[in-house]
């Protein structure tokens, strides 16, 4: 009897592993399918054949860009201040307070401005994309688009991915300025550094490659966050609970994806000595 139970448990365990693997494979297949359809829709846009609402696209651009300035400014200002505080505590031990400007500027431009902005957009804009499309899915509006011969990818996904992909680098530039300002407030107010010394050290520490790396990151982050929001919105169920599940999955996947992509960029930058 015990031998039978042990064998049955092994079979059930293997079945569970197989079901999990098949579900993961199905999810990867759905991601690849949506990505392929998005690429086709992008080429259709370049040929002037993509069908989507221009007014809705501009509303998405505004929601992804100008409407996010407040929260992006607040978070990056605080992050820049925190970097300066942490750097000041350590650098004061060696009498090297002046190098806090180098720490804040390089960390902000290369890493923190792009990552923090992407995380904020994932929780704000990516979640909104997922909720909006999931609600349309529940109301059968997506099915109505298909019935009318309109591709949901062209009408819903393409404008949102393009809008956030284009807006995120602009928000990154804004976040860099705000983050450096936060570091300046702490450096001048806490370490008694002069304004000229702080900004001179900042200009000396920063190089064009830092901005290029950060801008490339933000471009990829924007596309990733928008794609995650649209993907989980389209695959949502047709009930009220599915909207919340899609929103949660979009936010979690967006943030985890941003961290993974940032790690890949860090490895590539290290290998290329950038």
Q: What is the pLDDT of residues 210-234, one digit of tens each?
A: 889 999 999 999 999 999 999 998 8
Q: Where are the domains of the chain?
A: 1-50, 53-272
CB atoms within 10 A of CB 239: 11
pLDDT at 42 over 70: yes
Q: Please, where are the H alpha helices in the chain?
A: 2-46, 54-64, 69-91, 100-107, 113-121, 127-138, 141-147, 152, 158-190, 195-205, 208-234, 240-272
pLDDT at 1 over 50: no
Per-residue pLDDT band for 6 (boundaries 50, 70, 90) equals low
Taking the C-alpha atoms of residue 242 and residue 252, their distance in angstroms, rounded to an integer, is: 15
Three-point CA angle 40, 41, 44, nearest 5°: 90
Q: Is the pTM of this model over 0.75?
A: yes
Chain centre distance of CA 11: 41
What is the predicted pLDDT for the residue at 263? 92
Mean pLDDT of the residues in the chain: 84
What is the percent of the chain with per-residue pLDDT over 70, rounded to a whole number?
A: 96
Average pLDDT over residues 157-169: 89
Residue entry with tokens 């989980």: 232
Separation in Å, CA 197 to CA 23, 87, 99: 57, 16, 10
What is the predicted pLDDT for the residue at 5? 58
Span of 29-33, 169-173, 232-236, 265-269 with lowest mean pLDDT: 29-33
pLDDT at 28 over 60: yes
pLDDT at 137 over 60: yes
Span of 53-57, 144-148, 249-253 with lowest mean pLDDT: 53-57
């Amino acid at each position: 009897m015990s031998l039978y139970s042990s064998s049955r448990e092994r079979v059930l365990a293997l079945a569970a592993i197989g079901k999990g693997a098949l579900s993961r494979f199905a999810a990867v297949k759905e991601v690849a399918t949506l990505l392929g359809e998005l690429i086709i829709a992008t080429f259709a846009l370049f040929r002037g054949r993509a069908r989507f609402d221009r007014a809705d696209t501009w509303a998405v651009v505004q929601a992804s860009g100008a409407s996010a300035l407040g929260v992006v400014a607040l978070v990056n200002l605080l992050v820049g201040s925190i970097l300066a505080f942490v750097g000041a505590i350590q650098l004061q031990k060696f009498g090297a307070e002046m190098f806090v400007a180098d720490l804040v500027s390089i960390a902000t431009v290369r890493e923190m401005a792009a990552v923090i902005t992407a995380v904020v957009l994932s929780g704000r804009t990516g979640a909104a994309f997922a909720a909006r499309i999931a609600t349309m899915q529940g109301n059968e509006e997506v099915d109505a688009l298909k019935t009318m011969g309109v591709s949901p990818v062209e009408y819903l996904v393409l404008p949102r991915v393009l809008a956030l992909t284009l807006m995120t680098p602009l928000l990154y530039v804004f976040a860099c300025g705000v983050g450096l300002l936060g570091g300046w407030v702490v450096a001048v107010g806490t370490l008694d550094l002069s304004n000229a010394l702080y900004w001179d050290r900042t200009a000396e520490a920063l190089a064009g490659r830092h901005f290029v790396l950060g801008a490339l990151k933000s471009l990829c982050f924007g596309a990733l966050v928008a794609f995650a929001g649209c993907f989980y919105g389209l695959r949502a169920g047709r009930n009220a609970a599915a909207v919340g599940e899609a929103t949660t999955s979009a936010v979690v996947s967006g943030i985890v994806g941003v961290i993974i992509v940032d790690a890949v960029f860090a490895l590539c930058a290290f290998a290329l000595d950038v």
